[in-house]
Structure 1
């Protein structure tokens, strides 16, 4: 009985480990074989959230204190930018709590969601 449960557990563990976040991608390319484009803005960091809009042919990028609308066909083309900085009063209150002004008290865009057109 003990070996049967252990076998099922190990089988599930193997299934999760081969299809989980550490799985090897099905397709890979060498960097030299691709024509890559890079987008960056001076003074903007932490590009962590992406939303692709097929309808608008746009890639939305959430970063630290900014949201960008980039061309889906050429991400080096910025169509729009929304700056979302922290106001002085909330920044002061955050720092009074002992948090870091450069790390903890800034707006980090973590979720992008389509609401309407």
Structure 2
């Protein structure tokens, strides 16, 4: 580089920037999908809710009555029902009313879809 009669070596600042990035994949989440997935992650990011999903998924028929979920998590029915509602709203669980009790089951494919987003290209 020439600087007022003095020749100096070019610095990194003087270099012409090259394209450093490749084009992004079209398989990335849309804004709407990212919002839905964030809701799902927020729902299971709470330890009690994660435990509830685990308890339901571990059942032979993949469903459980709210009355059977209170003791394992050590919480009262209203609190457990609140956590279950959040999981239903996030699309992880399905709720079915049978008489006075509510039964919860894993929404088919919900956990697999979450796993696919977390590990693309599997």
When normalised by structure 2's length, the TM-score is 0.21
Higher normalized strand content (fraction of residues): 1
When normalised by structure 1's length, the TM-score is 0.22
Bigger radius of gyration: 2
Higher normalized helix content (fraction of residues): 2
